[in-house]
Amino acid sequence: MQLQSTLTCPGCGHRSAETMPTDACQFFYDCTGCGTRLKPKAGDCCVFCSYGTVPCPPIQQNGKDACCS
């Protein structure tokens, strides 16, 4: 399982490598480039599934229908 994911801000394009939590969803992320608060897109469980290079740990383990716990 990969715990590192690079988040890309849709507003400014800033990229930031982050470690994903394994015990909770991360619903919000404040872009360190422009300050925009990212939240999951409709149908996604967390910001990593919406804007990251790697989906969150529950999705990696259990497939796209899994949800963060």
Q: Is the pLDDT of residue 68 over 80?
A: no
**pTM of the predicted protein model:** 0.87
CA–CA distance, 18 with 16 (Å, rounded to integer): 6
Q: What is the pLDDT of residues 13-56, one digit of tens each?
A: 999 999 999 877 899 999 999 999 999 999 898 999 999 999 99
The beta-strand segments (E) located in 9-65 are 15-19, 29-30, 37-38
